[in-house]
């Protein structure tokens, strides 16, 4: 690979990460705003910037919407006192927040977020790395994120983080199984005889030019979504954090920027999870079920990215909405749900779709 | 008699939690669009009820006479000893010299005051009132010691029902000392 292509690749990667990070920042804002609205409050509406904030009409509206709040939040994390308790295991203590964030940023490489159709009708997916084993990569890397939680719990050398870390690992193991099994029917479906989709995520999107997979396989989508909630540690599954039981769970001993990393990592996982769900079940960048996107050139690329991000944004909103609606499960309920309900359900679902697909193939 | 509540066993659908979750989502969605109850504080102020016990203040009567006669009852009754009074004499040959006493200085330490309202209750002259000021701020302890000037500024003028001292003066003029 020559130097120029290398530079272009780096630039692309940086751009994607930058977009992802600002998405995360605004997901935090969305969380604050939506939670406020649901509770009858107005949420952050004071933070403003000197010049932009004083533009008539637009400035006050942006301020009211809290659009400048993420910057203030970020700065706050940066400048707060960073307390490292004396009883921690320093190496792992510092490593943990990094380990929480990095997998989320790595997964984004294989998630296709748009398409570019050249004049010749050739379809180029917009993705950093169009791996054939895309979904395996996503599952493998994203589950590394839990190491951040476990390490944080362990290295903090204090009881609440420790409990949080243990809960995190147990929950992770329980739900990863159901998640993987719920995805098998999807790939059996996409890999109909004659297609060479393999485990490629772009192929899944292209396979949804007709109806979306959520309509064909609602149960798979449902199981995947529930497992996704558990994997991202969102309420009602926020066992590792459980601030009412475990103070702050795994990040109790963290402050300042390290805490900020955990915080961003949670939202990065949500955004990535939503993106993967969009790719697998919500038809990626195709606007409506049964209506594939057929625009060419640069405009088509921009529209496809726009459609994809708005679907992701809607899902992120759903995550937030659920969080401010449901109370937390008890720990044993989480385990029961994972092992006794979701796992059998996922297996039944798998067998059912295997039979349906086999029947369909033999009849044709 | 012990009352035993019969709990209905959950139906199959209820055991999946799903209808309840959807119901909850519907409720929160409704609240998402409902009008907000937040008061935008510094710009919007809460409505202070009539009988609110805010910061204790000294008041003047509608003729501009300071009503406190420095009897020091409030100083004695104040449970946390927040009040300190330096009594003084009203000079001869003034409009209100028949009142005889007025505070030279009057101090209420707002860090000590517990807003009990006993001073207002005990005052025989209706000179001290807990009014609607609810927010007291400052950087030093001394800033919270409100002196006479500040207390009158906060208190302002309240309507008077008796004009006690005017009546006394009038009575004295007509030769009836009491
Ligand atoms: S405020 Fe009332 S009670 Fe207190 S010294 Fe003055 S007259 Fe007496
Ligand atoms: S309100 Fe109570 S505590 Fe405050 S000055 Fe009056 S008597 Fe003292």
Q: How far is CA B94 from CA A297, B101, B102, in A?
A: 95, 12, 13
Q: Do A68 and A48 meet the contact criterion of CB atoms below 8 Å apart?
A: yes
What span, in angstroms and rounded, lies between the C-alpha atoms of A73 and A29? 9
Residue A338 per-residue DSSP state: I
What span, in angstroms and rounded, lies between the C-alpha atoms of A335 and A330? 9
| Residue bearing the CA closest to ligand 2, atom 2 | B116
Q: What is the pLDDT along chain A (364 residues), one digit of tens a residue?
A: 688 888 888 888 888 888 888 888 888 888 888 889 888 888 888 888 887 777 888 878 887 888 888 888 888 888 888 888 888 888 888 888 888 888 888 888 888 887 777 777 677 777 777 777 778 888 888 788 788 888 888 888 888 888 888 888 888 888 888 888 888 888 877 776 666 666 777 777 777 777 777 777 888 888 888 888 888 887 788 777 767 777 777 788 888 888 888 888 888 888 888 888 888 888 777 777 777 777 777 777 788 888 888 888 899 999 889 888 888 888 888 888 888 888 898 899 889 888 888 888 788 7
Which residue is closest to B16 within chain A, CA to CA? A341
Q: Do A224 and A280 meet the contact criterion of CB atoms below 8 Å apart?
A: yes
- Which residues, at least 6 apart from A102, have a Cβ–Cβ distance to it below 8 Å? none
- Considering only CB atoms, B21 lies closest to which of A40, A41, A326, namely A326
Q: How many domains does chain B have?
A: 1
Q: What CATH number corresponds to the domain at position B64?
A: 3.30.70.3270
What span, in angstroms and rounded, lies between the C-alpha atoms of B159 and A26? 55
Q: Sorting pLDDT into bands at 50, 70 and 90, what band is B130?
A: very high
Query: What pLDDT score was predicted for residue B120?
Result: 93
Q: Which of A143, A187, A355 is nearest to A281 (CA)?
A: A187
A39 contact B CB<8A: yes
Q: Look up residue A282 and give its two tokens.
A: 């919500």
Query: What pLDDT score was predicted for residue B148?
Result: 92
ipTM: 0.75
Which ligand is closest in space to the CA of residue B119? 2
Q: Is A132 helix (H, G, I), strand (E, B) or coil?
A: coil
Residue A25 per-residue DSSP state: H
Q: Which of B63, B150, B74, B155 is nearest to B105 (CA)?
A: B150
CA of B160 to the centre of ligand 2 (A): 22
Domain boundaries, chain A: 29-79, 85-363
Report whether residue B56 contacts ligand 2, using a CB cutoff of 6 Å: yes
Asked if the structure places residue B87 within a domain, the reply is yes
* Least confident among B57-61, B110-114, B171-175: B171-175
Q: Is B108 helix (H, G, I), strand (E, B) or coil?
A: strand
Atom of ligand 1 nearest to the CA of B75: 4
Q: Which domain holds residue B136?
A: 56-174
Q: Do A225 and B21 meet the contact criterion of CB atoms below 8 Å apart?
A: no
Q: Do A110 and A127 meet the contact criterion of CB atoms below 8 Å apart?
A: yes
Q: For residue B141, give how far its alpha carbon lies from the nearest alpha carbon of chain A (Å).
A: 28
Which alpha helices (DSSP H) does chain B contain, by range? 12-15, 18-33, 73-77, 118-122, 148-155, 164-173
Instruction: Kindly determine whether residue A321 and residue B28, on different chains, have CB atoms separated by under 8 Å.
Output: yes
Instruction: Kindly determine whether residue B31 and residue A40, on different chains, have CB atoms separated by under 8 Å.
Output: yes
Instruction: Kindly determine whether residue B36 and residue A321, on different chains, have CB atoms separated by under 8 Å.
Output: no
pTM of the predicted protein model: 0.80
Residue B104: its H or E element: strand B101-109
Whether omega for the bond prior to residue B130 falls within 30 degrees of 0, making it cis, is no
Asked if the structure places residue B81 within a domain, the reply is yes
Asked if the structure places residue B28 within a domain, the reply is no
Asked if residue B177 has pLDDT above 70, the reply is: no
Residues forming a β-bridge with A291 = A288
Residues forming a β-bridge with A288 = A291
What span, in angstroms and rounded, lies between the C-alpha atoms of B81 and B66? 23
For chain B, report the end-to-end CA distance as a whole number of angstroms: 69
């Amino acid at each position: 690979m020559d130097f120029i292509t290398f530079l272009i690749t780096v630039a692309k990667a940086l751009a994607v990460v930058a977009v992802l990070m600002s998405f995360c920042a605004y997901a935090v804002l969305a969380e604050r705003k939506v939670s406020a609205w649901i509770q009858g409050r107005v949420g952050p509406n004071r933070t403003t910037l000197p010049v932009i904030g004083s533009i008539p009409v637009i400035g006050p509206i942006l301020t009211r919407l809290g659009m400048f709040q993420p910057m203030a939040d970020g700065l706050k994390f940066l400048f707060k006192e960073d307390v490292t308790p004396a009883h921690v295991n320093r190496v792992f203590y510092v490593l943990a927040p990094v380990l929480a964030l990095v997998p989320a940023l790595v997964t984004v490489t294989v998630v296709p977020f748009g398409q570019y159709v050249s004049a010749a009708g050739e379809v180029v997916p917009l993705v950093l790395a169009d791996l054939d084993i895309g979904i395996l990569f996503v599952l493998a890397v994203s589950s590394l994120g839990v190491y951040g939680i476990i390490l944080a719990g362990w290295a903090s050398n204090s009881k609440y983080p420790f409990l949080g870390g243990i809960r995190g690992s147990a929950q992770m193991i329980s739900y990863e199984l159901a998640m993987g099994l719920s995805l098998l029917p999807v790939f059996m479906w996409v890999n109909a005889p004659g297609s060479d989709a393999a485990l490629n995520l772009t192929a899944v999107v292209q396979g949804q030019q007709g109806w979306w997979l959520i309509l064909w396989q609602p149960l798979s989508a449902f199981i995947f979504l529930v497992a996704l909630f558990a994997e991202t540690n969102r309420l009602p599954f926020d066992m590792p954090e459980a601030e009412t039981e475990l103070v702050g769970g795994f990040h109790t001993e963290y402050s300042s920027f390290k805490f900020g990393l955990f915080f961003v990592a949670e939202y990065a996982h949500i955004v990535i999870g939503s993106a993967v769900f969009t790719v697998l079940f919500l038809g990626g960048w195709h606007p409506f079920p049964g209506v594939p996107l057929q625009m060419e050139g640069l405009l088509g690329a921009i529209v496809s990215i726009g459609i994809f991000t708005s679907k992701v944004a809607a899902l992120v909103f759903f995550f937030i909405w659920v969080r401010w609606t449901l109370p937390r499960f008890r720990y044993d309920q989480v385990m029961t749900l994972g092992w006794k309900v979701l796992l059998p359900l996922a297996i039944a679902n798998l067998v059912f779709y295997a039979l349906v697909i086999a029947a369909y193939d033999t009849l044709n | 008699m012990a009352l035993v509540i019969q709990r209905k066993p959950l139906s199959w659908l209820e055991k999946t939690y799903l209808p309840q979750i959807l119901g909850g989502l519907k409720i929160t969605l409704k609240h998402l669009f409902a009008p907000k109850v937040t008061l935008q504080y510094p710009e919007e102020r809460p409505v202070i009820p009539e009988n609110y016990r805010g910061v204790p203040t000294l008041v003047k009567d509608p003729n501009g006479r300071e009503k406190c006669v420095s009897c020091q009852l409030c100083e004695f009754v104040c449970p946390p000893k927040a009040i300190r009074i330096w009594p003084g004499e009203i000079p001869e040959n003034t409009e209100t010299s028949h009142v005889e006493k007025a505070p030279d200085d009057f101090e209420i330490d707002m860090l000590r005051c517990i807003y009990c309202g006993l001073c207002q209750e005990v005052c025989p002259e209706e000179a001290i009132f807990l009014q609607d000021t609810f927010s007291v701020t400052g950087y030093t302890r001394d800033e919270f010691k409100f002196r006479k000037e500040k207390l009158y500024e906060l208190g302002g003028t309240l309507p008077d029902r008796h004009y006690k001292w005017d009546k006394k003066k009038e009575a004295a003029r007509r030769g009836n000392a009491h």
